[in-house]
Every structure is written in C-alpha cells, then in structure tokens.
Structure 1
C-alpha cells in the first residue's frame, strides 16, 4: 500500500475533552502564540469598528445565558445561522456551543425549499437570521412548523421596526440577569463524538447532505495548520501565517473555508479578520488599501477578477503577502496570472472539504509561486492514498481516486447510511476527486471523477480546457461541459462569458459573436491535442453558475446544453 504522509510534525496532543469555545477562549495551548489582550480579533469592513477578545468572550457568555433563559437551548438542540458574514458570527456559534447545542450554518441565498430542507434535516429549534433574509425564514418556519418567536435577528433593519429580538438585545438581556446555565463539560474522548456543526456538503447531485462535525475535528485542524505554519523556515517577518497578519474575511463563514480556516485558525494564530458582510470586488480592493491587508484567501471567481478586472490597477495592493486559492482548483495559467498581479506575494492553492473539516493541503513553504497546477502539499497529520478503480494503489505520477485519513475527519452524514458507506470507508475519506500525489506530498487535482469527459476513449479534464480558454483575451469566465455523441462519446462544449470589450464589439456588429466563437474554437485547436478540441462548440452566457464556495455548477450547464441539443436533433429529424 502506497501511503503518502504530510511532512512535518509529529502533531502535539490534541485535546479531546474541550468544546471549540473552550479551546478558543478559555484554555492555553503550547502551539498558540502569546497575544496581546488589546489587539483586535475582528475589524468590521464597513465601519472600521474593532472587536477584541474580551468583548467576544463577554458577548458569547451573555448570549448563551439569554438563549438558555428564553428558549432553554441545551444539549443536542440544533440552532441554524442563516446570515452573511457579521462580527457577531463567532458569538452566535460559540454561545450555542457553550450550551452543548449544535450549529448548522445555512447559505443566506438559499431559497424557500432549500432552507426548508436544511431545517427539516437538522430539526432546528432556533434560527439566527439577517434582516435581509427574514421573509424567506418566516415562510420556511411556517412550512416546518417552527414558531415565529424562534427567530432572532442578527441586526435590526435600518428602519428599526421589527417584532423580533436581536442578538444585541439578547446580549444585553443575558448580561443583566443571573447566570442560568451550566456550561457543557466534555469527558475524556467525548470531543471526538460530540457534534459541533451540521454543515451541508456542496455536492451538485441530489439534495445536500448534513455533515456531522465533532468539536475535536475543528480543534485538530487548527493544530495541524499551526504546526504547518510553524514549520515555515522563512524569517518571522516574511511568514504568511503569523500573529499580526491581517486576513480579508470576505469568504462566507457559513462555508467550511470561511468557518473552519479563516475564522477559527485566523483567531487562534492572532491574525485579525477584516469582516466583509457582503463581498463586492471593488470594496475588497479598497479594504486591502485601507486596512493594509496582508493575507487574501480566494476562491476561483475572485482569482479571475484579480486577473481580468480593470479596477485592480487603481489601488495599492502592495501589502498583500499571501494569496491562497481554495474551494476549487484553478488552472496553471490562472495561478501564474494571479502571481503576476502580486509579484512579491506567495501565491498558491489549497485543498479541503467539509468532510475533512477542513484543510488537507496548504501552499508549499519553499516557493513564492506554488508548483503550477498543484493544490499544495499535505499538511502534518494527513495520510493520503491514490487508488485505481479496482482499489489497488497508483504509482507516484499515476492519476487515481484521492483517499485521505485525517484527525479532523467528520463523523459522517446525518441519517444517510448509503452515502456514509460510499464516502467513509475504514477510516479513509473517499473524496471523489481524480488526483496525482507525488513523492513530495504535493497534490494535483485533475477533476471530479464524475465530471471527467471521455472523448473517443481518451480522458479529458474540463478544468484543463477551462484554464486554457480563460487566457483568451475575449473570455472573462468559462465552463466546459459535454454533449453526447454515439461515435465520439463526449463532445466538449464551452460556455463562455465574453469580456466587456467583446460584448461592446458584438453590440456594434451582430456578426462579431460568431467570429469570436470561431476564434475561441481555433485557439483551442491550435493549442491542444486533437481529442481535446471544442467539437461541441462555444455558447455565450451572461454568468457561469457557481455554488457559494466557487465550484462550478457544471451539471446545471451540462443538462441545459444536452436538453437543447436533443431538441435541435429532434427538429432536424422531423425535417
């Protein structure tokens, strides 16, 4: 059996008798830097307001007191947070954990049916909601039979009118009354089984699944990341992850990337977060300049904007020391282009999953620009295998299915034994990704196994074509899917978002669109082998659909294209 271990370590002891807020707020750890009491933990992007450790602790404990008094939230109860980023996000999470209850974070862009599915699956007892999402929450609560007085507003609306309690009012209430709860204490080993989060996976097939994440998983991954950061041989002032570095927190806290890595790892290491409630690209550029942000976690759409958006050159981005692209792989071409935007920063990719909560790889220490196409190097404590369809192990440079064993592994999917049998096998997490892992423990993600195309028997990775097409001057975004053909199998088709200049040319000359499509097809023909051609053609689209973490919703576009193709074939057959 070929097992590749993440370099570094061994890992120090990982507490298995602590909840997440106890680990973050109450106890010390030998790998935690000594931090000044007066430094900010968060900076509110819109106002510049700073929030420190003592305020976070006080608000957490006061909110827990109010939640116990008013709703009797306790052991194993589930509380849903349906909100964009907010400086009270960790307060809501940790207050619920103080009571032994479980947090389930929901995407605030969910529609009624999607939120109903999550509330029903988790049997949520209380909902924290931002006022901008209130109408959907009220309708969903009625559908699942949840009383409307179980709704709490994260913020009061600008007009000040609302019949619901707010987080601030509950904090004030909890501070003014005697302590009414006994904090949940864990027995030795209980941290490995006590559920902290029910985070929903972002799969594109079927309904999302609730991933059961224990307290130990979050604590373990923090320690893994810290041990990796400490192993950086560069001088202290050049380290991308260290106390004093300032992180842009524009990625959503309801997603594992924002929740597990940016928020919890950032706090633990003493890296203040500039919290953006609503991501707007130009606002991010302004914030980098205003707050002298050093660390920029990205998802692929942000990377595309950094390369393509004309406003990038209008701002001073020289403080950026590290750009880390995660949540979905990007092409070597795009990674290199981002590195050109930040010539002094480290630029690399990382890999993680909700089921591994969260980080499996991070950018290499010894490279300013990570190995192009690599998703980083395995962090300490990670063991990896790459296997063939028959379960045998692949050679170092042979692609296969990616399996990992991590101390931060989730317990499985809630009430979904079939998915558990497919994904969690003998302590290994079956990721569903086609990868290569070399002997330096570097990971190269080829594509999702179910998304690989077969053209005349040859495998074609859509991500490879997307990275190549994105370099075309008339392309601002792209997604490659396939049409079905009896002879060829898959016919690669590119959905393309034209650049602003291309759109302007098309508006002036109706024939320009077909010229651009033909030019893109020729561009691929000139640059790729024969079986990687766009034999399915090019279609223009206004926006490429993605999930909140930046992953392409390829299946949606694939089904759309195939449906249209079948209708066209039917018309031709009738003629």
Structure 2
C-alpha cells in the first residue's frame, strides 16, 4: 500500500499484475505494459526473474516488497536509507482528470488479457461514490476507520477473538472462526449465491448484514452496490440476491443485440456511463471500438462469452489460443464455453471441444487430451483450466457465416450432465 500511494502521489503510472500469473501470462503483461521496474514478493522472485530476463530487464531493476533477498534492493531498505540520510519526501505532483494512474489486466472475449487504463479522475470519482453510499475500499478500510487490519491466514482466527473484528472479507477456515463480533460481511468479484449468503448469516450475529455489489475493472471498482435498510432517508432496502442500486453519478442502459433499448424485464446487455468508467484499453484500439461507444461501456454481461470462475474472469478465447499453440500442433479446431460443474449451481466452468489434426489422430485421442491438459496447466492460471473437461469431436458446429455455435455444444453437454446427475 505504501508503494501504491507513493506512485499515485508522484503521478507515476504502474501496472497491477496477478502474482498467480504463469510465464505465458506474465510475458504478455510485461510486453504490453512496457514495464521498466518490477516490485515482487520474495516467494515469486524466481518466477519473475525468468520472465524479466526474456524481455531484457536488468537485474538491478527488480526490487523486493514484503521482505529481503540478498542481491536485490528492497522497498523497506530504500525507505530506511532515505530516512537515515535525511532525504526529504518529494512533494505530490499535480494530476489532471485524464492522467493515467495505473493499468489493471482484465480478460475479455478477444482472448489475451487487456490492460484497462484507470485515471486519477476515475479514482477520485470512485472514492467520492464510496463516501456517499457509506462504503470504502476494503484495502484502505482500516486507515479510514482507525481499526486494525488482519491479513495473515494463520492469524485471522486468533485475531478475530483478541481484536473483536467487526468486518470480514473472507477466510478459507471460516466455519471454525469466532465471528461473534462481526457486524458486516462484504462480498465481491462474483455473484453471491443465496445459500452462501445464508451460511454467512448463520455464522454471524443476528444483527449482522451480508452485502454484495456489481463491478468490473473497467469501472475502477464498482457500478452497483446493495444498500442497508433505512438508508437514503428511509428509502433504502437490502434485497438479498440483488446487485443493488447504481452508485451516485452512474448511468445504465439495458440494450438489445441490435443496439436498441430493451423493454422492462427484457434480457439485454448492460451498458454503463460514469466518470469512474475507464477511458479504454492500453494500446488496443480494436477492443476500444468494440467496448466503448459514445462514452458508454458495453459490459458484455448476458451476451459476452466471458466466464466468472472463483471470482475471476476467464476468456474462452484465451484458452483456445493456448491450445492452438501447443508445439505438437495436435488440433485443427477448438472452442471453449462455460458448462455446469462449478462450486455452485450458478457457476460455470470452462469446457473445451477439440478436433484432432493429422498429428493428433496419429497420437490418439486420449493422449492428446492428456497432453493438452498438461500444456494448459503450464501456461494458464489454475482458475482458467478446463475443469469441465476436454472432449474430442469430429467437427465444431458453425453458422452459415462461420460463427462458432457454442450453444449447440453446451446444450448437448448439459443434457448429458443432468442425466448423469439424476442417476446419482
């Protein structure tokens, strides 16, 4: 947090890159964002070093955060040296509304992750929205409320008793933790199933609340949020299962595939407009033209093929591209779509349908499936793996215009899935 706040104050743009990225994903992110310096935790250093070497980044341009490693400068060490020599803090540099603050990577239907541009204007407006609706970002919650912020896994259970936690983000051993002091549980990143919300309510005091919202990287943080009973001059009402109300200053439209306005209760694509909406993607004019129209952000929800797995976006096209570049050229065609089989009845997981090439037929279907599975584990983050399976088919169904008919394959699979499930 110290580093991020310092870079923002100094108007130095930076990229936020997942620590769980594979070599393939890191290489794409590094090349796209043109990074010149890298800050990394000790446990991820060797992974980052191997990729940094490929792009020609000098060893001296890689710094350590959250610890110390021999041969590398650390952030804490640099801060300590600056204090020791009496170096005066640099004053904050002025920023304009459109000054780039940072890049954050978001998957989409175009395949490889896109770098979303977030400006200082986006950030400021997003913070103003949070103040109005009585929310603050979880990362700075402890700073703004004057409370302690508990991070390490092993400490959460003990600290929840000694510190009397009042707000909770998440923890894997939730059922064994004393939550008697929790008053508010916030959910984000993906839809909160009713059964999970009910479980959290059962684990916390009767007067506690469980809330969720809706957002995406292109909206800086959020677009909608649930409100508590009695807020907004008594008009506010918490409705479980709802994404909530639009944040202040946010406009929304529900649009049909032909671009016309959808009627009340008609399914369509959600379009958003607000000062907290990103100006676009870094160095990707094609995606910008497809996603941003006259100031409106086409979220892709309902029409997009992008999946949400464990709270993270998964692009079927990205998985398809990884399968296509297997060095043995085992397939001639592939399509990926979401199917049942996730943690909840609502969550979809990726499934791939492949057509064998001549080399693939020679190798054998079972061997190809095994080879592709090993390949994706090497080149994709775990949440992107085809947990729905890999199926060999004779051909991928296409429309007369050549568009892949994923729906046909998905419906066929779902019928088999339901039939198999009914026999259990």
TM-score, normalised by the number of residues in structure 2: 0.69
| Cα shift readout 1:239-292 (whole Å, capped 9, x = no counterpart) | xx5xxxxxxxxxxxxxxxxxx92224x266425352425xx4x75344333322
| Cα shift readout 1:85-125 (whole Å, capped 9, x = no counterpart) | xxxxx111122233331121221122222222211111111
Mapped partners of 2:210, 2:228: distance in 1 = 11
Mapped partners of 1:261, 1:563: distance in 2 = 45
- What displacement does 1:426 show? 0.9
In the superposition, relative to structure 1, how do residues 151 and 192 fare at CA in structure 2: closer, same or farther (>3 Å)? same
Q: Does the CA contact (< 8 Å) of 1:226 and 1:269 recur in 2?
A: no
Match 1:320 to one of 168, 182, 188: 182
Q: Secondary structure at the match of 2:207?
A: coil
Mapped partners of 1:225, 1:98: distance in 2 = 20
Which 5+ residue runs of structure 2 have no aligned equivalent? Answer: 231-235, 304-312, 317-337, 354-379, 396-411, 413-424
Q: Does 1:222 align with 2:222?
A: no
Q: Secondary structure at the match of 2:47?
A: helix
In the superposition, relative to structure 1, how do residues 154 and 483 fare at CA in structure 2: closer, same or farther (>3 Å)? closer
2:356 aligned residue = none
1:114 aligned residue = 25
Q: Does the CA contact (< 8 Å) of 1:347 and 1:370 recur in 2?
A: no
After TM superposition, the structure 1 = structure 2 runs for residues 292-303 of structure 1, keeping only pairs within 5 Å, are: 292-298=164-170
Mapped partners of 1:462, 1:345: distance in 2 = 34
Mapped partners of 1:222, 1:430: distance in 2 = 23
Mapped partners of 2:161, 2:281: distance in 1 = 42
Mapped partners of 1:167, 1:468: distance in 2 = 41
Q: Does 1:270 align with 2:145?
A: yes
- What displacement does 1:370 show? 4.0
2:327 aligned residue = none
1:355 aligned residue = 218
Q: Does the CA contact (< 8 Å) of 1:196 and 1:215 recur in 2?
A: yes
Q: Does 1:338 align with 2:197?
A: no
Mapped partners of 1:206, 1:132: distance in 2 = 29
Mapped partners of 1:103, 1:271: distance in 2 = 28
1:10 aligned residue = none
1:557 aligned residue = 387
In the superposition, relative to structure 1, how do residues 565 and 154 fare at CA in structure 2: closer, same or farther (>3 Å)? farther
Q: Does the CA contact (< 8 Å) of 2:150 and 2:159 recur in 1?
A: no
Q: Does the CA contact (< 8 Å) of 1:381 and 1:407 recur in 2?
A: yes
- What displacement does 1:128 show? 1.0
In the superposition, relative to structure 1, how do residues 112 and 104 fare at CA in structure 2: closer, same or farther (>3 Å)? same
- What displacement does 1:178 show? 5.8
Match 2:241 to one of 373, 396, 399: 373
Mapped partners of 1:483, 1:412: distance in 2 = 30
Q: Does the CA contact (< 8 Å) of 1:348 and 1:369 recur in 2?
A: no
Match 1:172 to one of 80, 86, 95: 80
Q: Does 1:105 align with 2:16?
A: yes
In the superposition, relative to structure 1, how do residues 271 and 210 fare at CA in structure 2: closer, same or farther (>3 Å)? farther
Q: Secondary structure at the match of 2:72?
A: coil
Mapped partners of 2:392, 2:159: distance in 1 = 44
| Cα shift readout 1:514-566 (whole Å, capped 9, x = no counterpart) | xxxxxxxxxxxxxxxxxxxxxxxxxxxxxxxxx99x9x64x8335x3434898
- What displacement does 1:483 show? 8.5
| Cα shift readout 1:36-73 (whole Å, capped 9, x = no counterpart) | xxxxxxxxxxxxxxxxxxxxxxxxxxxxxxxxxxxxxx
Q: Does the CA contact (< 8 Å) of 1:346 and 1:369 recur in 2?
A: no
Q: Secondary structure at the match of 2:210?
A: strand
TM-score, normalised by the number of residues in structure 1: 0.52
Q: Secondary structure at the match of 1:284?
A: helix
CA RMSD, 1 decimal? 3.6
In the superposition, relative to structure 1, how do residues 404 and 414 fare at CA in structure 2: closer, same or farther (>3 Å)? same
In the superposition, relative to structure 1, how do residues 462 and 340 fare at CA in structure 2: closer, same or farther (>3 Å)? farther
Q: Secondary structure at the match of 1:433?
A: coil
| Cα shift readout 1:371-391 (whole Å, capped 9, x = no counterpart) | 232122212111111111112
In the superposition, relative to structure 1, how do residues 381 and 336 fare at CA in structure 2: closer, same or farther (>3 Å)? same
In the superposition, relative to structure 1, how do residues 203 and 275 fare at CA in structure 2: closer, same or farther (>3 Å)? farther
- What displacement does 1:226 show? 0.7
- What displacement does 1:147 show? 0.4
Mapped partners of 1:369, 1:561: distance in 2 = 45
Q: Does the CA contact (< 8 Å) of 1:285 and 1:317 recur in 2?
A: no
1:287 aligned residue = 159
1:497 aligned residue = none
- What displacement does 1:402 show? 0.6
Q: Secondary structure at the match of 2:300?
A: strand
Q: Secondary structure at the match of 1:142?
A: helix
In the superposition, relative to structure 1, how do residues 284 and 346 fare at CA in structure 2: closer, same or farther (>3 Å)? same
Mapped partners of 1:140, 1:125: distance in 2 = 13
Q: Does the CA contact (< 8 Å) of 2:142 and 2:149 recur in 1?
A: no
After TM superposition, the structure 1 = structure 2 runs for residues 414-563 of structure 1, keeping only pairs within 5 Å, are: 414-434=282-302, 469=345, 479=348, 553=384, 556-558=386-388, 560-563=389-392
1:392 aligned residue = 260
Which 5+ residue runs of structure 1 have no aligned equivalent? Answer: 1-89, 230-240, 242-259, 436-447, 452-460, 471-477, 485-546, 570-575
